[in-house]
């Protein structure tokens, strides 16, 4: 018997999407992103249309893009990332990359955790942890990086609980405020 307030989480299935599948599912992933960030405290999320544009035009286009989608059967969460090649547009969008990170990126030895999104009603069931673990399971990179806007307490708490540690900051070349850089080896 469930206690009052407890939600039946049901069965959630995880599946990997190729770059092309992710692109064809971009509108649904945009809806998931918008629903997950509705009324979220902390850092200001992108507008849905801006998220879909960035996801489609930037993230999906990165080398070795990978995405894990959780469904029950509709989308309830996802995690995505890519391998960072030092010559890529992604790295060129930052100033003064720290030497240790720069060395690893020379041979594409960094996996970038670009995002983890989980619907609010699914957050207490460790779904984000499952998505994160599954996404990183195929990466053989010795270093994974995640960039976080300062003040995004939910993202920082999740990264810390998953064993990530602060590794400095990267400054976007477009003049945006620096982003906290978190690493996991």
Q: Is residue 7 part of a domain?
A: no
Q: Is residue 2 part of a domain?
A: no
For residue 74, the domain's CATH number is: 3.40.630.30
* pLDDT reported for residue 70: 96
Nearest to 58 by CA among 50, 68, 47, 48: 50
Q: Is residue 4 part of a domain?
A: no
Residues 6+ apart with CB under 8 A from 26: 52, 55, 56, 60
What is the count of structural domains for the chain? 1
Q: Is residue 6 part of a domain?
A: no
* pLDDT reported for residue 28: 95
Cβ count near 6 (within 10 Å) = 9
* pLDDT reported for residue 6: 31
Domain extent at residue 82 = 13-184
Angle at 102 between CA 85 and CA 158, to 5 degrees: 80
Instruction: Yes or no: say if 154 and 161 are a contact pair by the CB < 8 Å rule.
Output: no
Distance CA 36, CA 168 (A): 27
Q: Is residue 5 part of a domain?
A: no
In tens digits, what is the pLDDT along the chain, a chain of 185 residues? 333 333 334 688 999 999 999 999 999 999 999 999 887 666 567 899 999 999 999 999 998 999 999 998 889 999 999 988 777 778 888 887 877 777 767 666 789 999 999 999 898 889 999 999 999 998 888 889 999 988 888 899 999 999 999 988 899 998 888 999 999 98
Distance CA 95, CA 175 (A): 10
The answer to whether the predicted template modeling score (pTM) of the entire model surpasses 0.85 is: yes
Instruction: Yes or no: say if 95 and 171 are a contact pair by the CB < 8 Å rule.
Output: yes
Residue 81: helix, strand or coil by DSSP? strand
């Amino acid at each position: 018997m469930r206690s009052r307030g407890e939600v039946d989480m049901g069965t959630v299935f995880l599946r990997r999407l190729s770059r092309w599948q992710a692109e064809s599912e971009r509108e649904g992933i945009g809806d998931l992103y918008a629903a997950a960030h509705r009324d979220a405290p902390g850092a200001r999320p992108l507008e849905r249309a801006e998220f879909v544009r960035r996801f489609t035009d930037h993230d999906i286009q990165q080398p070795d893009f990978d995405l894990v989608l959780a469904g029950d059967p509709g989308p309830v969460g996802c995690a995505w990332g890519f391998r960072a090649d030092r010559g890529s547009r992604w790295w060129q969008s930052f100033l003064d990359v720290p030497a240790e990170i720069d060395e690893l990126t020379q041979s594409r030895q960094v996996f970038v955790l670009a995002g983890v999104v989980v619907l609010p009603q699914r957050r207490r069931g460790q779904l984000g942890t499952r998505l994160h673990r599954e996404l990183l399971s195929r990466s053989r990179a010795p270093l994974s990086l995640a960039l976080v806007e300062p003040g995004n307490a939910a993202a920082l708490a999740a990264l810390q609980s998953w064993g990530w540690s602060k590794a400095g900051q990267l400054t976007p070349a477009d003049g945006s405020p620096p982003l906290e850089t978190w690493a996991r080896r």
